[in-house]
Structure 1
Amino acid sequence: MLEIDGSYGEGGGQILRYSLALAGLTRTPFRIFNIRKGRKKPGLMPQHLASVRAVKEITRGEVAGDEHGSLELVFRPGPVQAGEYSFDVAEERGSAGSVALVLQAVLPILASIPEKSRVIIKGGTHVPFAPIYDYLDSVLFPFLIQLGLDLRCQIKSYGFYPKGGGEIEVLIRGGRTRPVELIERGGRVRLKATSVVANLPESIALRQLNPLRERLSPLETEVKVVRSKGPGTYIFLKAEYERTIAGFSALGRKGKPAEVVGKECLDQFLNFEKQSGIDHHLSDQILIYLINSDGKSIFKTSQVTNHLKTGIWIINRFLPDRVRIKGSVVEVMGRY
C-alpha cells in the first residue's frame, strides 16, 4: 500500500484531494498520515470528508479513518462507476466548504471514462482559499474541453462564506485527453470583468469595477445582482489570449471597501501581464488530466507555486517520473 505523508510541502488538503483522484484513476490503495498537520485546525475538515465520501461512492471504494479531525486515512478504490451523484459539503456538520475543491477530487476520475455522469455538489461556490465557480466555468473547463473532454457546468445557486448554500451541476463525458504544447500564450484579445453582489446594494458591484475601468481598456463589464443564503460580493476578470485563458478574482467581506476588492483583482492581473506562461492557478489544476493524454505535454507556467510543486510530487508518488519541471517549464507524460 502506498504511504503518503500529508505534511509534505504546504501540508494542506491538496495532497488528500490529489491522492483520492489518483487512487481512483490508477486503482492504487493508499494510506495518508499527518493530514493537514501544520494547519491551525489539523486533520479532516468537512470539505475533505465530503471529498473522501464522494470518491468512495464513485469508485465503490473502502475507507477507514473518515472522521472529523482525523489525521490518518486509508483508502482502497474499486472500479469507477459513471452515474448520477449528489454531494453536500454541509452534511458534514454544516459548512460553506468549497464545491470546487470537492470537484477537484471527483472530476479527474469521472473524466477518465467515456460514459456520461451528472454530478451535483452543494456548499460554497465563492469562498476564500479556493477557486470560485467563475474560474471553473470560464478558465478550467474551456481548457479541459480543448483537451477533448465533453464537460458542461452550471451554477444553480450562489453560496458565500460563512452561510454556504450554493449548488453547481456538472455534466461529464470523458476519455483520453489530447496532449498540449503551450509555451507562449500569445497576444491578449479580450478582457471582461464581472462584478457580483448577493443580498447587498448594486452600488457595491459598480464600485468594485472602478479600479479596473480606470486602468484597463478596452474592457467589457457586467454587473450581476444574485440571490444567496447569505450576503456576499466578488469580482472576476477573464483575460483571453490567442492560445489560453486566465482568470483573476477577489472576494468582498464586511468592512472591506468595494474599491479594495476591485484593486486586489486588478493587481493580480497586472502582475500576470509582467510574466510569461499560462495562469499559475491553471498550471497545478491541469496536471492530473494531462497524465491521461495520448502523449507528452509541455507548458510554461507564469509562477512555480508550492501548489504546483506539491501536485508534481504527489503524481510522481503514484506514477513515478511522470511529471518533470525545469525552471518554469513542465513536462507531463501521458498514458498511465
Structure 2
Amino acid sequence: MIVIDGSYGEGGGQILRTSIALSSIFREPIRIINIRKNRKPPGLKMQHLHAIIMLSKITRAYINEIKVGSMEVEFRPNGIYGGKYKEDIGTAGSITLLLQAVLLPSLFADSKVRLLIRGGTDVEHSPSLDYFQYVLLPYYRILADISIKVVRRGFYPKGGGEVEVNVIPKFSVSQYKDIGDFIRDVGSIGSLDISFEEIDEVNIYSVASMDLKSRNVCERMIKGALAVFSKLTDIKIKKKIEYVNTLSTGAVITIVANKKYPFGVDLLGRRGLRAEIVGKIAAENFLEILKRRASVDKNLADNLIPILSLVKGSFITPEITGHLDTNIWVVKKFLNSLSVKIEKIDDCYRIYIR
C-alpha cells in the first residue's frame, strides 16, 4: 500500500484528487494521511468526499468510513467499470474539480461510462466549465472519445449546475495483467510535446446568469477584453455570449487560444468589480502567457502531469505552481522510474516527462 502525506507542498485537495485517480488506474491501494492538515478547516470538504464516493462506485473500491472533516482516507480499487454514475455534490461544490479525480480513470474503463454530476459549474478556486470543455478536454480526448453536455450552469452559493459526460474508452486497463504492458500500449499514442507557437485565433466565452442580462454583463466583459486585445491586429477573435437560468447570480469569462494544443484563462465576476474590469484582467492574464512564450497556462500545466505520466511529453509553463510541484510528487509515488526534468527558459520553464 502506498502511503501519501496529504500535507505535502501546498497541502490541498489536489493531492487527494490525483492520488485516487492514479490509484484507480494502476490498481494500487493507497492511504492518504494529514489531508488538508494546514487548511482551515482541515480535512475533507464536501467536493472531496463526493469525488471519493463517486470514484469508489466506478472502481468498486473499498474505502474506510469517511465524512466531511476526515483527515485520513484508505482507498482500495478493484478495477474500472463502465456504467452510469450519478453524484450530487450539493450546493456549489465544484463539478470540474470532481471531474479531475474521476474522469482520467473513466477513460480506461471496461466499457462506456456516463457521468452525471450536480454542483457548481463555475466557482472560485476551480476551472470554469468552459475552461474544462475547451482547454482541458482536448488533452483527455487523446486517450478516449469524450462528449460533454451542459444541462445547467451553477454559481456560488446555491450551485444547482448539472453536467453529463460520456466516455468511450480506447484502452481498458482491466485487459492487462501487467500494468507495465498497459502503460506501454497507452504510450504508443506518441509523446505529447507542446512547444510555443504563434496563435491566429482566440475564442472568448462570456457567460452570466439571466438576471444580469439587463445590465449587459456578458457584453461588457467582452468589451473589457477587446480593449486589451485591440493591439493584436493579426489575431482573429471569436466571441460567444450566453445568458443562463441559474439558482444564484454569477458571471464568468473564459479566453482560449484556438489551436491543436489549446491553453487559456478564466475569471469569475464578483460583486464590486465592474464587468469591463473582469474582462480586462482576464485578457491581460492571457496576453502575459503569450508574451512569455509559454505553450500552456499555469493551470493546464499541473493538469497535464497525470496524462503525461502515461504518454510522456513536454511543455513550457510560465511558472512552477504548488499544484504542479504536488502533482509531480504524487505521480512519482506511483511511477518511481518516471523521469521529470525542469529546465529554465528565459521567463518560463520547460518540463520534460520521460
TM over 0.5: yes
Residue 30 of structure 1 aligns with which residue?
30
Name whichever of 227-236 and 176-185 sits farther off.
176-185
Name whichever of 11-20 and 181-190 sits farther off.
181-190
Residue 60 of structure 1 aligns with which residue?
60
**Quick one: which amino acid aligns to residue 212 of structure 1?**
A
Contact 1:153 1:171 in 2 (8 A): yes
Residue 270 of structure 2 aligns with which residue?
253
Contact 1:125 1:167 in 2 (8 A): yes
* Per-residue deviation, residues 32-84 of structure 1 (Å, max 9, x unmatched): 11101111211011000001101111111111141110111111111111111
Residue 108 of structure 1 aligns with which residue?
104
Residue 45 of structure 1 aligns with which residue?
45
Residue 173 of structure 1 aligns with which residue?
168
The sequence identity of aligned pairs, in percent, is 36
Does residue 159 of structure 2 align to residue 159 of structure 1? Answer: no
Aligned to 1:245, what secondary structure does the other structure show? coil
Aligned to 1:219, what secondary structure does the other structure show? strand
Go from structure 1 to structure 2 and tell me whether the alpha carbon gap of 1:323 and 1:160 turns closer, same or farther (over 3 Å shift).
farther
Contact 2:80 2:108 in 1 (8 A): no
Name whichever of 42-51 and 64-73 sits farther off.
64-73
**Which one of the candidate residues 291, 295, 304 is aligned to 1:286?**
304
* Per-residue deviation, residues 180-222 of structure 1 (Å, max 9, x unmatched): 3424231112012121110323211111112211121442222
Q: Structure 1 segments of 4 or more deviating over 4 A?
A: none
Distance 1:155 1:52 in 2: 23
Contact 2:59 2:78 in 1 (8 A): yes
Aligned to 2:281, what secondary structure does the other structure show? helix
Contact 2:220 2:276 in 1 (8 A): yes
Does residue 319 of structure 2 align to residue 303 of structure 1? Answer: yes
Distance 2:66 2:340 in 1: 32
Residue 331 of structure 1 aligns with which residue?
352
Residue 189 of structure 1 aligns with which residue?
200
Aligned pairs (5 A) from 1:88-99: 88-90=88-90, 95-99=91-95
**Which one of the candidate residues 242, 248, 259 is aligned to 1:230?**
248
Distance 1:8 1:65 in 2: 23
Residue 213 of structure 1 aligns with which residue?
226
Residue 17 of structure 2 aligns with which residue?
17
Aligned to 2:200, what secondary structure does the other structure show? strand
Residue 334 of structure 2 aligns with which residue?
318
Go from structure 1 to structure 2 and tell me whether the alpha carbon gap of 1:29 and 1:148 turns closer, same or farther (over 3 Å shift).
closer
TM-score (norm 1): 0.92
How far off its partner does 1:323 sit?
Answer: 4.5
Contact 2:224 2:275 in 1 (8 A): no
Contact 1:323 1:330 in 2 (8 A): no
Distance 2:211 2:264 in 1: 24
Distance 2:162 2:53 in 1: 18
Contact 1:234 1:252 in 2 (8 A): yes
**Quick one: which amino acid aligns to residue 163 of structure 1?**
K
Distance 2:42 2:111 in 1: 37
Which residues of structure 1 form unaligned runs of 5+?
none
Contact 2:28 2:77 in 1 (8 A): yes
How far off its partner does 1:282 sit?
Answer: 1.6
Distance 2:110 2:319 in 1: 33
| Number of aligned residues | 325
Distance 1:134 1:99 in 2: 12
Does residue 151 of structure 2 align to residue 130 of structure 1? Answer: no
How far off its partner does 1:134 sit?
Answer: 0.4
